[in-house]
Amino acid sequence: MFIEKIKSEGLAHMSYFLGIGEAGKAAIIDPRRDVDIYFDLAQKNNLWITHVFETHRNEDYVIGSRQIQEMSNAKIYHGVQLDFKYGTGVNEGDEFEIGDCLFKILSTPGHTFESISIALYDKSYSTQDAVGVFTGDALFIGDVGRTDFFPDRAEEVAGLLYESIHNKLLPLGDQCIVYPAHGAGSVCGSGMASREFSTIGYERLNNPALQKNKDEFIKHKINEHHYQPPYFRKMEYINQTGDVNILSGLPIPKPLSPNEFAEQMSDLQVLDLRNPEAISGATVTGSLSIPVNMLPAFAGFFLSYDKPIGLIADTNHQIKDAVRHLVRLGYDNINCYLNGGLHKWETGGKDFNKIPAVHVKDLISKIENHEQFTLLDVRSIDEFNSGHLPNAQHIYVGELPKFIEDVDRSKLVVTFCGSGQRAAIAASYLKQNGFRNVGNCLGSMSACKAVGCPMA
Amino acid sequence: MFIEKIKSEGLAHMSYFLGIGEAGKAAIIDPRRDVDIYFDLAQKNNLWITHVFETHRNEDYVIGSRQIQEMSNAKIYHGVQLDFKYGTGVNEGDEFEIGDCLFKILSTPGHTFESISIALYDKSYSTQDAVGVFTGDALFIGDVGRTDFFPDRAEEVAGLLYESIHNKLLPLGDQCIVYPAHGAGSVCGSGMASREFSTIGYERLNNPALQKNKDEFIKHKINEHHYQPPYFRKMEYINQTGDVNILSGLPIPKPLSPNEFAEQMSDLQVLDLRNPEAISGATVTGSLSIPVNMLPAFAGFFLSYDKPIGLIADTNHQIKDAVRHLVRLGYDNINCYLNGGLHKWETGGKDFNKIPAVHVKDLISKIENHEQFTLLDVRSIDEFNSGHLPNAQHIYVGELPKFIEDVDRSKLVVTFCGSGQRAAIAASYLKQNGFRNVGNCLGSMSACKAVGCPMA
Amino acid sequence: MFIEKIKSEGLAHMSYFLGIGEAGKAAIIDPRRDVDIYFDLAQKNNLWITHVFETHRNEDYVIGSRQIQEMSNAKIYHGVQLDFKYGTGVNEGDEFEIGDCLFKILSTPGHTFESISIALYDKSYSTQDAVGVFTGDALFIGDVGRTDFFPDRAEEVAGLLYESIHNKLLPLGDQCIVYPAHGAGSVCGSGMASREFSTIGYERLNNPALQKNKDEFIKHKINEHHYQPPYFRKMEYINQTGDVNILSGLPIPKPLSPNEFAEQMSDLQVLDLRNPEAISGATVTGSLSIPVNMLPAFAGFFLSYDKPIGLIADTNHQIKDAVRHLVRLGYDNINCYLNGGLHKWETGGKDFNKIPAVHVKDLISKIENHEQFTLLDVRSIDEFNSGHLPNAQHIYVGELPKFIEDVDRSKLVVTFCGSGQRAAIAASYLKQNGFRNVGNCLGSMSACKAVGCPMA
Amino acid sequence: MFIEKIKSEGLAHMSYFLGIGEAGKAAIIDPRRDVDIYFDLAQKNNLWITHVFETHRNEDYVIGSRQIQEMSNAKIYHGVQLDFKYGTGVNEGDEFEIGDCLFKILSTPGHTFESISIALYDKSYSTQDAVGVFTGDALFIGDVGRTDFFPDRAEEVAGLLYESIHNKLLPLGDQCIVYPAHGAGSVCGSGMASREFSTIGYERLNNPALQKNKDEFIKHKINEHHYQPPYFRKMEYINQTGDVNILSGLPIPKPLSPNEFAEQMSDLQVLDLRNPEAISGATVTGSLSIPVNMLPAFAGFFLSYDKPIGLIADTNHQIKDAVRHLVRLGYDNINCYLNGGLHKWETGGKDFNKIPAVHVKDLISKIENHEQFTLLDVRSIDEFNSGHLPNAQHIYVGELPKFIEDVDRSKLVVTFCGSGQRAAIAASYLKQNGFRNVGNCLGSMSACKAVGCPMA
């Protein structure tokens, strides 16, 4: 019996491959859509994937259950409280045995109503003491799941989550290892530990959210701010209906020469995957820059499902990573990429933009000299409220499409965030929307803290 | 903060790579000698290996500490109770901080006197509640370490182990994850779980050895039977003195044609790595067969350090695996292999032996018909005593070199073990030593149980 | 402009990936069905596959053209003399330009009527001097294509091949590099060089078949013996009609426990992939043994397309290789494999067979002692006629299904071939068909030559 | 018998692995220093490397002969006309047989005096007709070797090269395949074909240099301009003496935090490996930028052997590639890299530079408006002379260290080359040397040609 944690970077999503050698079988908890890694593990370990458990209807990625089912005829299980159009509903107390593994279903609503946790027992030792529990988005390491999906019932769901944790998960016992669905960096919770392993006992003692009483907990949860990228709606639809395009492999974008690419640009969403420094140096006019590692968290704020995507990158590695990231978000129509990247674009004499980097020292000097410019802070409202530079205008990066008209086009805009990465996306979005004079403060608030900045 | 478990198959040895991103550093617990995997992890994660902890002077493999030290200048730490000729001694209570990681040393003697465990804390959460503990050979999942290395002080060391577990490890708290140095299949303990993850709490509740009181525990431990392969002495010497050959890469054996191989055979220990069925089919006269996956557990009973090794295999994968297995045991002189394997040997017209497979049904019929033959049972004495076939002669496979003269050369010998694998080694050893008429009962006791056998 | 030769082992089939960087395009000549390798090359080199050339309707494997077309929308080209149901017919003199590459079609019938060769020019240097030519099955390195597919018109097609070589290929000039569709080991020609590179000039001077005048050439060709495995008919159908199952990935066989495997055996063609020595040691009763590297040449004599296949292997590597080999031959229904291989079969107490290895010295002694047994020589008739042991009975291994009734079931049968490999298949086939007493002469004729044998 | 071409990107160096299966041996021609690829090929093909041939004392990279010799005890062969301090001298007509391979030495001076070519014969076909020839730096595909290393004897060596080609190589016959030591992109010749395969016949007919008579040829050669980076002297010393550091693996640079890196910078040569666009965006003050793919051609103009190197990169792939590139040039002291790259540098608040990209249209407008600035053209003198922009100042990028004082520090300098890549190095070098106002014309002359520029 072994557990392999599969981490999807960017989403900070964790799925789990549970191999049960004596049965020749494997179970997957919350699989991602690019399922090759599970089948590789199965083949390497002489296992057949027979069970897929979904802890809840995920909203931040396309779940891979149906893809696995097509390939290995596995059964899919999820909570009954939602009307799923595929798979089998399970209830509190349902049990599944595979070899020495015993899975028991716990109903743990809060993040969503149909959320379940799955407790794991090693029958050869005990059917009473759980050795582990897959907690989905109920309990994370150092935090708990977000409860903002039902704003009309905010207190109710926060209370449900409290009960789920205190009446279902903690009673499993301190010895029980915690296998959550997300780790640090996920948009599904903000306070997760960078440590990747924990137990019910350790969380009971040290998870800040578990030190609160029910009232404090509810108050804390309803005061949290979370953003919901528009693509969440698409994920919810797909993951509830199972109406997903079954892949016969990852999409292979076609290399286009600069001339071909330029000709097709009007029919494309052109996505630049390079680093903020490269974006500062030169970008294809009309493109939107989202550094590849930021795609999982931010692509869904900006990309439409209706228009094919054309990629710009420095390396084939970036292209390959982007394809996986996009497919996980349901963007299958990755049509082409600019062959030779910016270099060929430049040697072809095509137009390019620049988004000059602004050092934080220059920014301070601009502020102190009362220069006319907009300092656009695109961090989350919580970050902004915890400290920002004087006269900064706040719009969350993901909400720029909604509020772009609030930004003054006539002045220089310097974008600003925690480190210069979200600011790069924001700056690129402004450029794409016709802003002439845009800079990006590389380093942003982190650099401010390192060198010392005046704060508002 | 992440932990990557590195499993060395065959030895069932676990080492741990602890990556501490915020510090750009990594610590290794009980590294194996082929250290490429640690450096690959370090490079992939932008870490530098700075600390190596040895839970004790290992006796079953060459520890990789000195190799790592040569490559990254890491510091090596181990218990003070043994006079190590390299590294730094540590005492109960010593602490090491790397980024958010805090390591605390626990003295946990029993398996050996200098054994330590290392408790791990995440300072950003708690310096009181250990999140994990590296238990070395003190506590395994489902079992505890062997205590047979000091036969004159058998009760004492068993008692020490009891105290180490109950007074040092269990007090860490139920929430603490257990990271042992061995898993199921190791020669360092017989009752380990096939499950690869556990906690102090789970072991406290379910580990059979932890349910005993001190007297029962000591009695249980001093009644265990363990075998000590002769190579343990070499490992102990190397691991105490650090007097080890630093590798600049894994040895590359030279392919030899059948004629070249035949000419050099008298200067070689010829080791056949193929499966028991292939060994039954045809073997090079004079070779010793140890299927490659059995090398870690059995090579040390048969191979000398004084003579170069020549390999015979079906595939290059077997050669590569064998080189790693042998190097871990300190056998660096892997000189050559038979290019083209048995096939080229055969087409060259060279002599080969056969070790006919004997089905358990035929074995029963031989027994029932009172045929004249020796049924040589080469399992451990504990296995033998728990049930064997009528008239079986018992010699443990690893002790055949000592007791081979007790086997009657004039009769057919059919070797027998748990499944036919150790029996294959035994049969091959008999052949190598001039026995004419040898068969191997493929399936052995497992097959007996499946079809039903008369038991003595 | 680069050419990457893709060698499919066993078939000794060569396909070619022609990368044209300046155009961002690639052309494939005679692709195999598992096309991942071409797409990997394309992606790594930023190319898009736009052209597929088929030198002829291949009879020994499923061509991958349609698979590529589905994935990249490439155009497929082949000779007009056959009524293909897909792709585009091309004629002598047709030209294709991609970047600096110029392809010119040559009609080179003989092996088949629609056979073409494709001459390659580098326009930036010359459109007169071909730098290379893809010769299909017309011209090999050291040999020429077989001409036995039209037995009624044997002289005609041999003459056509002579004309194709002398009037089409040789006139390309000595400087022209030869890229044939097969190399040494293929069933498509027997005298190919083990050397993998040559030119028109080198072949003109040194290829034995090119030293003959037309009459000698025709006589030589019509006197050749070739075997046509029954699966050729299926390949011809698929490759003419394009009526092929488009793969969304390679089949993944399911691991079955010994009990599950035993239960399903009656519905399976059970195929044992292990080496001859392992086959000698123990085989699953009812299975057919074809060592994995021999599948491409021999599976098509024995396997039906109507029954799912169950595999037996020593390693996952063998399973993976077998899946590719079988898919290339159009066997897609690879249902399952015996998890744990023979070892688990044995420990489950299941029945197994043995096919004792016979050393050539023992064989000679049997012959000299006039023992009663059948020496069954399963080599090709040409090999047999060039020298065989006394009293050997000849049946070609591939024709055993037709002539098995000619073998005396009442006596020991020792199978014999060039080296013991084909003999292993033959022996296994006899066992599968109820022969009780079967041995295999490992080493066979090669061993005879090494030790000296009496010849008939 | 197979030949595997090993291409070292950047150097555009070709080495060849010649596998001779029937002998179980391999020969390498002109191995590079990171020899793992040869040993991987050898192991995969069951071969042992026994022969290394050096076509000449290479001046552009450290040859791997001594490294191979240490690992496999191979013999090293090279021409006798130079006093090598290792290996064995060979003369015209010397022969070496390995299996069916016959190697014949041809003395082919010109590029250097001791240059040899090695003709390859397949003994099983012919010992008269060479099937291939390894031409070193004598004959390339589409060009011939440079002859500028003996400026005092320029005509003599050009004449020698003519004789070598016409009297030694062409007589091998049109059928002979050409295996040169360099391909397109090498600094060892400027007119090589992008096509990677050719024959003596094809070159005889189409290589421009082979269409000239001796006088024309000599005149052509002595009028060529080549640059000799200073590191050539080090390579010549190492490759003549064999006095090279034997590697036990590739160097592993240590990750340093921004603070650590900043502290150590004064003791380092800081090398930035990122793309020109990223360099435009932000660079570490004091660093020198050479995009990783340009290291082989340009590092040797700028880097000293006396100071350790610290790297800056976007990805670990760049670090790994840089380590190989640098080791091939003999730079072993690759001490560290900036962990987290520019991003962490920025968030640490450290200083960074910008080198604004200049679009060619803006450049033209600057020129047409008679703005005060220096247009610094860093292409080779031949490129410059074949057409340049008005008022451009010419200094070859590699000679900037010599002539930097000729550049006016008081004005904006816009660097310019063929495409913007060499210009990026030049711009970075100016910045490193205190120039305040520097831009880089991304696209440069290629972009000019695409959009239309005024030419001087």
Q: DSSP string spanning C229-269?
A: -THHHHHHHHHHH------SS---PEEE-HHHHHHHGGGSE
C448 is catalytic: no
Taking one residue from A and the other from B, the number of pairs with CB-CB distance under 8 angstroms is 108
DSSP B253: P
Average pLDDT over residues D257-279: 97
Measured in angstroms, the CA of B47 and the nearest CA of chain D are apart by 6
Neighbours of D219 (CB within 10 A): 13
Residues of A in contact with D346 (CB under 8 A): 419-420, 442-443, 446-447
Strand partners, C133: C119, C178
**Do both C316 and C361 map to the same domain?**
no
Q: What percent of chain C has pLDDT over 70?
A: 99
Residues of C in contact with B278 (CB under 8 A): 274-275, 277-278, 281, 314
**Do both B213 and B291 map to the same domain?**
no
**What CATH number is attached to the domain comprising A99?**
3.60.15.10
- Residue-wise pLDDT for A372-384, tens only, equals 999 999 999 999 9
Q: How many CA atoms lie within 13 A of B213 on its CB side?
A: 1
Q: What angle do CA C428, C429, C435 make, to 5 degrees?
A: 85
φ/ψ of residue B27, rounded to 5: -120, 145
In a domain, C249, yes or no: no
Q: From C360, which residue of chain B is nearest by alpha-carbon distance?
A: B349
Residue A168 has pLDDT above 90, yes or no: yes
Model confidence at C47, pLDDT cuts 50, 70, 90, reads very high
In a domain, B25, yes or no: yes
Alpha carbon distance A161, A158 (integer Å) = 5
In a domain, B313, yes or no: yes
Residue C190 has pLDDT above 90, yes or no: no
- For the CA atoms of chain A, what is the radius of gyration? 24
pLDDT at A378: 98
Do D133 and D200 touch, CB atoms closer than 8 A?
Answer: yes
Residues of B in contact with D39 (CB under 8 A): 252
Average pLDDT over residues B419-428: 97
Residues of B in contact with A201 (CB under 8 A): 129, 173-176, 199, 201
| Closest by Cβ to D46, choosing from B44, B46, B339 | B339
Mean pLDDT of chain B: 96
Residue B175 near chain A (CB below 8 Å): yes
- Residue-wise pLDDT for B282-333, tens only, equals 999 999 999 999 999 999 999 999 999 999 999 999 999 999 999 999 999 9
In a domain, B34, yes or no: yes
**Do both D324 and D428 map to the same domain?**
no
Alpha carbon D184 to its chain centroid, in Å, reads 10
Alpha carbon distance B257, B267 (integer Å) = 16
Residue D456 has pLDDT above 90, yes or no: no
Final residue belonging to a domain, choices C332, C353, C374 = C353
Residue A189 has pLDDT above 80, yes or no: no
Mutate to test the interface with A, among C25, C39, C43 (most CBs of A within 10 A): C43
Residues 360-399 of B with CB under 8 A from C: 360-361
Q: What angle do CA D329, D333, D335 make, to 5 degrees?
A: 130
Measured in angstroms, the CA of A367 and the nearest CA of chain C are apart by 46
**Do both C85 and C157 map to the same domain?**
yes
Measured in angstroms, the CA of D287 and the nearest CA of chain A are apart by 15
Contact A252 C71 (CB under 8 A): yes
Q: What angle do CA C421, C422, C425 make, to 5 degrees?
A: 95
Alpha carbon distance B201, A170 (integer Å) = 14
Measured in angstroms, the CA of B447 and the nearest CA of chain C are apart by 4
In a domain, B387, yes or no: yes
**What CATH number is attached to the domain comprising A370?**
3.40.250.10
φ/ψ of residue C379, rounded to 5: -70, 175
pLDDT at C191: 80
**Do both C282 and C329 map to the same domain?**
yes
- Residue-wise pLDDT for D13-70, tens only, equals 999 999 999 999 999 999 999 999 999 999 999 999 999 999 999 999 999 999 999 9
Model confidence at C333, pLDDT cuts 50, 70, 90, reads very high
Q: What angle do CA C409, C411, C412 make, to 5 degrees?
A: 110
Neighbours of chain A (3+ CB pairs under 8 A): B, C, D
Token pair 């199952």 is found at: C245
pLDDT at B109: 98
Q: From C337, which residue of chain A is nearest by alpha-carbon distance?
A: A46
Q: What percent of chain A has pLDDT over 70?
A: 100
DSSP-H helix ranges across B56-135: 65-72
Residue A412 has pLDDT above 80, yes or no: yes
Q: Which tokens is B143 given?
A: 């079992």
- Residue-wise pLDDT for C120-141, tens only, equals 999 999 999 999 999 999 999 9
Residue D421 near chain A (CB below 8 Å): yes
In a domain, C247, yes or no: no
- Residue-wise pLDDT for C364-394, tens only, equals 999 999 999 999 999 999 999 999 999 999 9
Measured in angstroms, the CA of A99 and the nearest CA of chain B are apart by 12
Neighbours of chain D (3+ CB pairs under 8 A): A, B, C
**Do both C134 and C69 map to the same domain?**
yes
Token pair 């082409």 is found at: A336
pLDDT at B158: 98
C284: burial class by Cβ within 10 Å (0-12, 13-18, 19+)?
Answer: buried
Strand partners, A2: A19
pLDDT at B298: 97
Closest CA to A378 of A353, A355, A404, A360: A404
pLDDT at D53: 98
Do B48 and B63 touch, CB atoms closer than 8 A?
Answer: no
Final residue belonging to a domain, choices A353, A375, A407 = A353
Q: From B443, which residue of chain C is nearest by alpha-carbon distance?
A: C347
Residue B187 has pLDDT above 80, yes or no: no
Residue D2 near chain C (CB below 8 Å): yes
Alpha carbon distance D169, D132 (integer Å) = 10
**Do both C384 and C309 map to the same domain?**
no
In a domain, D312, yes or no: yes
φ/ψ of residue C434, rounded to 5: 95, 0
**Do both B213 and B272 map to the same domain?**
no
| Closest by Cβ to A2, choosing from B174, B196, B200 | B196
Contact D339 B252 (CB under 8 A): no
- Residue-wise pLDDT for C192-223, tens only, equals 889 999 999 999 999 999 999 999 999 999 99
Residue A71 near chain C (CB below 8 Å): yes
Neighbours of A11 (CB within 10 A): 24
In a domain, A456, yes or no: no
Please give the C-alpha separations between residue D126 and each of A425, C180, C206, C207, D121, in angstroms, as whole numbers.
66, 20, 7, 10, 7
Token pair 């010699």 is found at: B395
Average pLDDT over residues A84-109: 98
Final residue belonging to a domain, choices D183, D216, D241 = D241
**Do both D345 and D371 map to the same domain?**
no
| Closest by Cβ to C346, choosing from B274, B354, B442 | B442
Do C400 and C378 touch, CB atoms closer than 8 A?
Answer: yes
Closest CA to A126 of D412, B207, D275: B207
Alpha carbon distance D216, D208 (integer Å) = 11
When comparing pLDDT for D342 and D1, which is higher?
D342
The number of distinct structural domains making up chain B is 3
Average pLDDT over residues A174-194: 88
**Do both A49 and A90 map to the same domain?**
yes
DSSP-H helix ranges across B60-112: 65-72
φ/ψ of residue C57, rounded to 5: -75, 105
Average pLDDT over residues A431-445: 97
Q: What is the pTM of this model?
A: 0.96
Residue B191 near chain A (CB below 8 Å): no
Catalytic option among B188, B336, B417, B448: B417
DSSP-H helix ranges across C265-368: 276-281, 295-302, 316-328, 341-347, 360-368
Residue D190 has pLDDT above 80, yes or no: no
- Residue-wise pLDDT for C280-301, tens only, equals 999 999 999 999 999 999 999 9
**Do both C171 and C316 map to the same domain?**
no
Residue D352 near chain A (CB below 8 Å): yes
Residues of B in contact with A204 (CB under 8 A): 175
3-state SS class at C374:
strand
| Closest by Cβ to B317, choosing from C317, C354, C359 | C317
Closest CA to C215 of C159, C168, C163: C159
Name, in order, each residue with C-beta under 8 angstroms of A303's C-beta and a sequence gap of 6 or more.
Answer: A231, A269, A271, A309, A326, A329, A331
Mutate to test the interface with B, among D22, D48, D260 (most CBs of B within 10 A): D48
Q: What percent of chain B has pLDDT over 90?
A: 96
Alpha carbon distance A24, C261 (integer Å) = 13
Closest CA to B277 of C322, C311, C360, C353: C353
- Residue-wise pLDDT for A345-399, tens only, equals 999 999 999 999 999 999 999 999 999 999 999 999 999 999 999 999 999 999 9
Alpha carbon distance B59, B137 (integer Å) = 11
Do B104 and B94 touch, CB atoms closer than 8 A?
Answer: yes
Mutate to test the interface with A, among D275, D355, D428 (most CBs of A within 10 A): D275
Alpha-carbon dihedral angle through residues C236, C239, C243, C248, given to the nearest 10 degrees: 120
* Catalytic center residues of D: 417
Q: From D448, which residue of chain A is nearest by alpha-carbon distance?
A: A349
DSSP-H helix ranges across D107-243: 154-163, 200-206, 214-222, 231-241
Query: Which range of residues forms the domain containing residue B440?
Result: 357-451
Mean pLDDT of chain C: 96
Q: Which tokens is B138 given?
A: 């003190």
Strand partners, B96: B103
Alpha carbon A34 to its chain centroid, in Å, reads 15
Do C422 and C294 touch, CB atoms closer than 8 A?
Answer: yes
**Do both A337 and A369 map to the same domain?**
no
* Residue type, position C243, single letter: D
Q: What ipTM was predicted for this assembly?
A: 0.95
Residues of C in contact with A39 (CB under 8 A): 252
Model confidence at C187, pLDDT cuts 50, 70, 90, reads confident
Closest CA to B442 of B280, B289, B334, B287: B280
